[in-house]
Amino acid sequence: MASVYLHIGAPKTATSTLQSMLAANYKPLLAQGVLYPKLLRHGDAHHTLVCDLIQAYQGHTMADLWYGERTRGEAWRDLQREIDQHGQAIDKIVLSSELFFGQTQRLEDMLADIRERLSGHELKVVVYLRRQDELYSSFFNQDVKGARQWAHNAYQFYQTHQIFQHDYDELLGIWSHGVGRENMVIRPYESAQWAGGSIIEDFCAVTGIKPLAARPVSANEGLGPTQLYIKLCLNRVGYDKNENEGVVRLLHRVYPETPVSSCTYVHRGLYRKYRKNWIKVNKRLADQYLGGEPLFTDPIPPPEKVTLYQPEIPQILECLLALFEHFRGKSHEHQSLFARAMMLIIAEKDLWDEFGADKTGQLMQWI
């Protein structure tokens, strides 16, 4: 019987870094009796395990990007096949996908399926939690930037995104009921509390893995304040998700900007309401799982201590002019897309005079 460590995220807690470390050390892990399965992986993670459960229990057809060349519906069989290949040579199995964390629809049925498929093994669930205000801010920025192409405001994002439909304690309560509270390993996404100050070292300590060397991983940085507004408008105009990476690269190249940090995308009154609930949730987590010890050492800041996100008109105009110069005089990939978004911005911010009639006329030709 092996111990299975099911790492479920949460999102925005360096999951890609951990998955990259585990995938890069496949053979060294095997040498110490730890299997990080590769037959079902697409990339470095085990998202196909979750995707197959979603399709089976929720009836959603998951996008091809989660599978790559993998066959749909085969992930759990591939997992069992790889476990069988190694037999008694392994005593630990590590599975990792942050997609697990966002599931609530028929989650009880999904957990029953997981328990059945992993019967005969000891199941532990590892989850890192990020302070809610930081998760909200980071996740909104990332979903605007990423292929999801979120095009609406932060309030709508919070009200509709599945990851915010259940508080931490409510969601973990479902997991605890499914696998046993004693099998839940809850860690803060807070470097001051990590073993050695490193998320990788902390994860190894939690799972009983010998410390491993990690390959360098580029930071998944968010957008700057002006970039974020421009990207929101690009998303509102709409374009193929396969073009998203190229669009983001172009925006970074034409208008470099320091990423947004420590801000709220909703007004302070709404932030105050959210904060009040988050503090209550974290108190319940402390009481239920941590013997009353707080999960986070850094408190959620009050509204008056938080910067309010407000893109500035001079910077928006500067970005528009830089984009215009980039596209002027040549036919360029994404030219029509950016021209449509720029016209939307000019109208929305009433920048007709500042941008100039001759330039807006050129934008109309590009459209």
Residue 197 — left, alpha, or beta (φ > 0 → left; ψ -120 to 50 → alpha)? left
Q: How many residues does the chain have?
A: 367
Mean pLDDT over 274-298 rounds to: 96
Q: Mark 65-102 as b/e (b = at least 16 C-beta within 10 Å).
A: ebbeebeeeebbebbeebbeeeeeebebbbbbbbbbbb
131-157 pLDDT, tens per residue?
Answer: 999 999 999 999 999 999 999 999 999
pLDDT of residue 60 exceeding 90? no
Q: CATH fold of 3-132+167-207, please?
A: Rossmann fold (3.40.50)
Number of alpha carbons in the 13 Å side-chain half-sphere of residue 87: 2
Mean pLDDT over 63-87 rounds to: 93
Strands (E), 184-338: 184-188, 263-264, 307-308
**Is the distance from CB of 222 to CB of 337 less than 8 angstroms?**
no
Mean pLDDT over 231-258 rounds to: 96
Task: Output 321-329 pairs: Cβ under 8 A, ≥24 positions apart.
Answer: 321/355, 322/254, 322/255, 323/230, 323/254, 323/255, 324/359, 324/362, 324/363, 326/250, 326/254, 327/366, 328/362
Q: How far apart, in whole angstroms, are the C-alpha atoms of residue 236 and residue 147? A: 13
Pairing of the two strands 307-308 and 184-188: unpaired
Q: What is the pLDDT of residue 315?
A: 98
Mean pLDDT over 319-325 rounds to: 97
**Is the distance from CB of 214 to CB of 202 less than 8 angstroms?**
no
pLDDT of residue 217 exceeding 70? no
Cis peptide before 357 (omega within 30 of 0): no
Q: What is the pLDDT of residue 123?
A: 98
Residue 28 DSSP code: H
Q: What is the pLDDT of residue 110?
A: 97
Q: Where are the domains of the chain?
A: 3-132+167-207, 225-258+312-366
How high does pLDDT run on average in the chain?
94
- In this prediction, residue 219 has a pLDDT band, given cuts at 50, 70 and 90, of low
Number of alpha carbons in the 13 Å side-chain half-sphere of residue 195: 13
Q: How far apart, in whole angstroms, are the C-alpha atoms of residue 64 and residue 108? A: 26
**DSSP string over 162-207:** GGGSS-HHHHHHHHHHHH-GGGEEEEES-GGGSGGG-HHHHHHHHH
Q: How far apart, in whole angstroms, are the C-alpha atoms of residue 12 and residue 9? A: 8
Helices 313-327 and 244-254: crossing angle in degrees, nearest 10, is 110
Q: What is the pLDDT of residue 261?
A: 80
| Residue for token pair 């749909």 | 72
Displacement of CA 87 from its chain's centroid (Å): 34
Q: What is the pLDDT of residue 124?
A: 98
Structure token digits, residue 32: 């110490």
Determine the longest span between alpha carbons in the chain, in angstroms.
74
**Other Cβ atoms within 10 Å of 270 Cβ, number:** 15
Nearest to residue 341, comparing CAs of 356, 365, 317, 320? 320
Structure token digits, residue 336: 């029509």
Q: How far apart, in whole angstroms, are the C-alpha atoms of residue 233 and residue 258? A: 19
What pTM did the predictor assign?
0.91
Please provide the distance, in angstroms rounded to a whole number, between the alpha carbons at the two ends of the chain: 63
Mean pLDDT over 215-222 rounds to: 64
Mean pLDDT over 168-194 rounds to: 96
Q: What is the pLDDT of residue 220?
A: 67
